[in-house]
Structure 1
């Protein structure tokens, strides 16, 4: 057959089947943009402002150390901030004092608060975290470096002015050249004590967690308020830390050090360096003779604490400020939707805040972006489907946590294993195996049979033994002790061994209980000899340390309440805007489940609020006036806790109520076209009747 003159070929078509892309993950589209903004804030705001604060503090300190205006004059006062020594000292203090603390704060920043309802639980929870040890290490290292910088600065500046700060490492003694300088040790230990105080303060404030608070836009007034707050808080904290260090230093010199010198091997190691501290008795006159040293330690501690606190307050503010990164991208809606799907609640909070801002934007650009959101068909699932799903999942997770009252989810029991099927063959009856002679034994002689019968293993002996044992089993236990037994010696040995073990266990228990008995005895002696006001103060401190705060329990049930409020606000605003801007009706099918989720969460919050009020009844004003002062104080503390608990619940309840009211006012009678569950419909009817 001949070939056709024109070869056949397939027709080309522009139609092709392409799978719609999905929304990119937040780690690719949203989080890098936020990290870039945070990096810029860290470099241009936090680092810069903290360096300026260190420079100002060093300038003031160096001016004071050099004699003030009367000694260096007006020209020296103006040139001192720009002097190479001042700039280098400020940079060194910033580098060794501020940077370690900021690095630790950045590496351990979290958006999940600590779940604890009392200061004691907060402290014990912090002890179980590795971040606490690292934070303490960073603070102690920073305090030690700041002490070293202060010593170098004091020696270089004060000796030039003709004053000897007496801060050398060893005392100036030819006989004992290795005796450590007590002034330097006091200064170093004072800094370490203040570092521990700052770490304790950060633990109690849960400062490693982001605090989503209000923000100020006016930077100059905010800086003035920040500096004033830092100075006041640093002064109070330094005063408390200095007083505590004086008491601890006195106890260490008068009690701890003599005990250490009584240990033979340790005494030989410490004597060449610390033996001079044992000379003379410890008295209060030592403080009056070293007022200058105490003042120096106070000023160094004040500069250290104020530097730390100012840098950390800057960090707390700038890591919580709103971030708008979607406006600078090619597709802002895609960036925001990608951000709300982030697994990290820190980035998800920023994304929901930006989404709420977009949902409430009444400009023409905002309208166009919402229309693009509702009409998107490029992604599978669509942008609106992804947005609604992630928002409802966020609210649903916190709704379940609220129902559990902050408790972790219970682990589901493992499924029971199905019985194993064994294909065993059917049992075939077996003939029992006879173990013994099969044939009938030959009959022996009468004399042989008589000897076998009376032998030790004969039939008569076996019958007598079995009869004796049967009879002994019928004798009461009361009369068994008079019967001879072959195992009496063994039983006596076992009983003696058991008694020895019991005595050893009792001795071990007595030794283990000895410290507790001593503590009880010492505490009883303290209660008998301590003054009344001291005991009252100790009881008040113990009660404050262990008292359960109601608002802390409520906050633990809704740890992400601010983000939930933003999510509810954004959802309600988008639903209201969809009545005019949604040309395809993609939002309409999701309105019933959105309202059901919002109303269910609101009902759970209201039930929790009523439970808190019922479980913690408050006395009336008449009853409060007749209560004892102690009971009245407890009632006031409870009222304060309940008020803070109501504020915490209101942070999410108020956006829910406002959003539902806006939806009811926007749709009006059109809501009758949707079908709701009976409980949701009853709750929604209350909003309809109210409006």
Structure 2
């Protein structure tokens, strides 16, 4: 049969078409996933676990112990319950219910408040006055005050309910009703209840001020290691618990003493003044008229001493529940062992934009870098020999670490001041276009005949018309007087409008100057009145307190220059440990190419620390033996205070300085003569030579 075209086409279509097989393929290198997808979800899960089992559970245990103590005290203690009854008090339904209510009213609101407003950046303030002023300007201040005040008041009402539940036999202290039992005056408020509630409010406000002065909403890292020694950790926890209990006991006593003073001033001075105001007097008389009978004296305080002790114990238990609820927010967590790729997960965590997660990542990376076990060596080898990601794991880690140190190095050079904003580029000059020549068509469209001049009467009518020049000037002046500065540039710039705007600005400046002069005059008059009325000793004490309140501290300024020093220490330890391990564990030498950059960054940072240390040490010079007898006791006290502040500043600088020295010494001792194979800038080489000679 002949091969027809149809048959040929059919035979060709039946032949399969196959691609040429090759081992070459266009593979795209993977990039390291962002921290928001890999590391941060793990940390959030670990923080939720810590919130349940390290914060909520211990705080409930503390509240249960405090509620048990109150229940046993209200029932007469050992003498009223006996040994068996005393042992059964913690498990009674009333005690368990009181403990749950106490926990919900005291610990839970404080934990939620701390969790919502927790921050890593500390407050940059140099004196107690600026610290408190900065705290009051934060958005967390109104919620914090409201939380502490409402929690303390609700705890006071819970205590009153427990008192009536158990029927406390403590005499007059059990009469804690809102109104006194009087048929003639049924709306007279009970002074004991007011004293108890006002005491709790003072405790809440004092606790807020204490937290503001200690900057408690900023993280204070207490444990940098994620795998610490268990015995040492328990000893540290016990020491912190005992220290916190002692501090809270003293603080509660100071709060009660301050409340007694404030309550006496309010009852003896403020309340009589309010009753002299007609409208206010009519509003307060049905509720507080009985407080005007008699004066607030020490004998009155002695007759109600049981109420004073009750307020002390109530304030102490409230403060203890708050303090223990906030104690576990500053500890590091370990999350890399929960994933199948721990090393890439940790490297991804170092790229997080949130310094809170970045701190956790570097804390766990330091454990990997300093681990001498075979498992630690295998993880470091995986980090050095990575070829899966682009950029590689080591490149990403080194870049992020050097950027972190570089930002803090620049902040140290600026002495804690924010970086100056880059000046805006000048606007380009306007391009003037030459006028185009008129075309014949434009000439034809233009007016051919010359316009006849208008009469003087017509000019006057056009001027005063609704759309004339005079009404337009008046309207633009009125608009310029009321519009903001942003919109004034679009108005007419005639002389009348500019004059009106200048007049308004001058009036505004005159009013501001008058207010400032009045404030200064009142302040000077009040200061003169205080100086004339107060005794000399009290005046000197007041001036000393004012000087202490407003004086800038040297160590606070140094803290503002190194706000992230704990993170810097972690980064330095990670880099130095990994560089030293790369000598034997880096098969391809990927770390060696970055050693000059790392050593240069560490030595430059160390030089800046040493320069600042020299500057701080120059602030204090100890008096010589000839100068010491000539100094007054006040000057000697000022010298001692300055010496203490300089010593604290030196300790802060030493945190980073010692880590830098240890890291450089570790690298120098590990590499030894092999460092001659690298090229360093002259300044870095001179600094490094000192470490080589020392080693």
Fold conserved (TM > 0.5)? yes
Give the distance between the partners of 1:57 and 1:668, measured in 2 at CA. Answer: 61
Give the distance between the partners of 2:311 and 2:548, measured in 1 at CA. Answer: 31
Q: Which moved more, 1:157-166 or 1:348-357?
A: 157-166
Whether the 8 Å CA contact 2:173–2:307 is kept in 1: the answer is no
Deviations 1:634-660 (A, max 9, x none): 111111111111111111111111111
Q: 1:382 aligns with which of 384, 392, 402?
A: 392
Give the distance between the partners of 2:510 and 2:117, measured in 1 at CA. Answer: 48
- SS in structure 2 opposite 1:418? coil
Which residue in 2 is equivalent to 1:343?
353
> How do 1:142-541 and structure 2 match up within 5 A?
142-159=151-168, 165-214=174-223, 217-218=230-231, 221-222=235-236, 224-312=238-326, 314-315=327-328, 319-425=329-435, 517-541=521-545
Q: Does 1:674 align with 2:683?
A: no
Give the distance between the partners of 2:237 and 2:351, measured in 1 at CA. Answer: 35
Which residue in 2 is equivalent to 1:498?
none
Give the distance between the partners of 1:161 and 1:592, measured in 2 at CA. Answer: 76
Could you say if the C-alpha distance between residues 44 and 510 of structure 1 is closer, same or farther in structure 2, counting changes exceeding 3 Å?
Answer: closer
> How do 1:573-592 and structure 2 match up within 5 A?
573-592=577-596
Q: 1:628 aligns with which of 632, 640, 648?
A: 632
Q: Does 1:88 align with 2:102?
A: no
Give the distance between the partners of 1:216 and 1:528, measured in 2 at CA. Answer: 62
Give the distance between the partners of 1:354 and 1:406, measured in 2 at CA. Answer: 28
Q: CA deviation at 1:216?
A: 7.2
Whether the 8 Å CA contact 2:29–2:390 is kept in 1: the answer is yes
Q: 2:60 aligns with which of 41, 51, 55?
A: 51
Could you say if the C-alpha distance between residues 256 and 517 of structure 1 is closer, same or farther in structure 2, counting changes exceeding 3 Å?
Answer: farther
Give the distance between the partners of 1:210 and 1:625, measured in 2 at CA. Answer: 45
Give the distance between the partners of 1:587 and 1:504, measured in 2 at CA. Answer: 65
Whether the 8 Å CA contact 1:176–1:272 is kept in 2: the answer is yes
Could you say if the C-alpha distance between residues 175 and 591 of structure 1 is closer, same or farther in structure 2, counting changes exceeding 3 Å?
Answer: same
Q: 2:563 aligns with which of 559, 563, 587?
A: 559
Q: 1:42 aligns with which of 38, 47, 51?
A: 51
Whether the 8 Å CA contact 1:401–1:408 is kept in 2: the answer is yes
Q: Does 1:609 align with 2:618?
A: no
Q: CA deviation at 1:536?
A: 2.9
Give the distance between the partners of 1:29 and 1:528, measured in 2 at CA. Answer: 68
Which residue in 1 is equivalent to 2:643?
639
Q: CA deviation at 1:258?
A: 2.8
Which residue in 1 is equivalent to 2:690?
686
Q: CA deviation at 1:618?
A: 3.6
- SS in structure 1 opposite 2:389? coil
Give the distance between the partners of 1:78 and 1:115, measured in 2 at CA. Answer: 51
Which residue in 2 is equivalent to 1:487?
none
Q: CA deviation at 1:15?
A: 4.1
Give the distance between the partners of 1:61 and 1:227, measured in 2 at CA. Answer: 21
Q: CA deviation at 1:418?
A: 1.7
Q: CA deviation at 1:143?
A: 0.2
Whether the 8 Å CA contact 2:377–2:585 is kept in 1: the answer is yes
Whether the 8 Å CA contact 1:140–1:195 is kept in 2: the answer is yes
Whether the 8 Å CA contact 2:74–2:168 is kept in 1: the answer is no
- SS in structure 2 opposite 1:28? coil
Whether the 8 Å CA contact 1:168–1:181 is kept in 2: the answer is yes
Q: CA deviation at 1:163?
A: 6.8
Give the distance between the partners of 2:341 and 2:677, measured in 1 at CA. Answer: 34
Whether the 8 Å CA contact 1:155–1:164 is kept in 2: the answer is no
Structure 1: state its 5+ residue gaps: 439-501
Q: 2:124 aligns with which of 110, 115, 119?
A: 115
Q: Which moved more, 1:8-17 or 1:597-606?
A: 8-17
Q: CA deviation at 1:162?
A: 7.7
Structure 2: state its 5+ residue gaps: 454-505
Which residue in 1 is equivalent to 2:459?
none
Give the distance between the partners of 2:452 and 2:524, measured in 1 at CA. Answer: 80
Could you say if the C-alpha distance between residues 435 and 136 of structure 1 is closer, same or farther in structure 2, counting changes exceeding 3 Å?
Answer: same
Give the distance between the partners of 2:657 and 2:41, measured in 1 at CA. Answer: 33
Whether the 8 Å CA contact 1:158–1:164 is kept in 2: the answer is no
Whether the 8 Å CA contact 2:75–2:168 is kept in 1: the answer is no
Give the distance between the partners of 1:392 and 1:382, measured in 2 at CA. Answer: 16
- SS in structure 1 opposite 2:674? helix
Deviations 1:174-227 (A, max 9, x none): 122111111111110110001101111111111111112357734654554344
Q: Which moved more, 1:334-343 or 1:160-169?
A: 160-169
Kindly tell me the number of residue pairs found equivalent between the two proteins.
624
Deviations 1:83-110 (A, max 9, x none): 1111111111111011111111111111
Give the distance between the partners of 1:321 and 1:161, measured in 2 at CA. Answer: 44
Whether the 8 Å CA contact 2:350–2:362 is kept in 1: the answer is yes
Whether the 8 Å CA contact 1:110–1:210 is kept in 2: the answer is yes
Give the distance between the partners of 1:537 and 1:371, measured in 2 at CA. Answer: 65
Which residue in 2 is equivalent to 1:31?
40
Could you say if the C-alpha distance between residues 184 and 332 of structure 1 is closer, same or farther in structure 2, counting changes exceeding 3 Å?
Answer: same
Q: 2:553 aligns with which of 549, 556, 572?
A: 549
Give the distance between the partners of 2:602 and 2:625, measured in 1 at CA. Answer: 37
Which residue in 2 is equivalent to 1:482?
none
Give the distance between the partners of 1:193 and 1:374, measured in 2 at CA. Answer: 58
Q: CA deviation at 1:303?
A: 1.4
Q: CA deviation at 1:244?
A: 1.2
